[in-house]
Amino acid sequence: MIQLSLIASLVFCSLFWQSSGQSDQIARAEKLFAGRDDIRNLGQAVSLLEVLATAQPKNYEVLWRLSKYRYYASDRETDSTKKQKLLEAGVDAGKRALGIDGSRPEAHFWLGANYGDLAELKGATCAAQAA
C-alpha cells in the first residue's frame, strides 16, 4: 500500500512539476513537511523533493531539504533496514548539497544528523549481532 502511495505521489509530483516553478515546488514540499505529523505528508514531501532532485541534480535548496526530510522519515521508520537506507540516502543528499555549496550551514547540519543516527544504528546493529 505504501508503494502504491509513493508511486501515486511521484506521478502527482511529475504533473505538478510541469505546471509550476521550482520555488513553488519547494514551497509545496515545505508545506507538506510542516504537516509531517501525518506520515502521508512526510512521504509526499520526500517524494516531491526526490522528483525535483532528479530533474535538477545541482539544486542546493532541494538537496539540503531532501537530506533533512529523509532524516525525519528515518526517525519514523521502525524497520532497521529501511531506516538505514533512508539515513544513507540522507547522507548522499547532504554530500551532494555540500558539493554544490560548502559554505552554507544547512547541508552541513543535516549531513551530520544523518551520519550521527546512521552511526548509532550501525553500532546497535553490530552490538545486536555480536550478542
Q: pLDDT for 18-53, tens place per residue? A: 445 778 999 999 999 999 999 999 999 999 999 999
Kindly report the CATH number assigned to the domain that includes residue 125. Answer: 1.25.40.10
How far is it, in rounded angstroms, from Cα 5 to Cα 23? 24
The parent domain of residue 105 ranges over 2-130
**Least reliable range by pLDDT among 1-10, 55-64, 80-89, 104-113:** 1-10
C-alpha cell at 21: 516553478
Residue type, 70: R
Residue bearing the bigger pLDDT, 19 or 5: 5
Average pLDDT, the chain: 86
- pTM of the shown model: 0.79
- How many CB atoms are closer than 10 A to CB 121? 17
How many structural domains are present in the chain?
A: 1
* CB neighbour burial string for 18-52, b if at least 16 within 10 angstroms, e if fewer: eeeeeeebbebbeebbeebeeeeebbbbbbbbbbb
Check residue 38 and give its pLDDT: 96
Check residue 65 and give its pLDDT: 98
Check residue 9 and give its pLDDT: 57
Check residue 18 and give its pLDDT: 47
Q: Is the pLDDT of residue 10 over 90?
A: no
Q: Is the pLDDT of residue 91 over 90?
A: yes
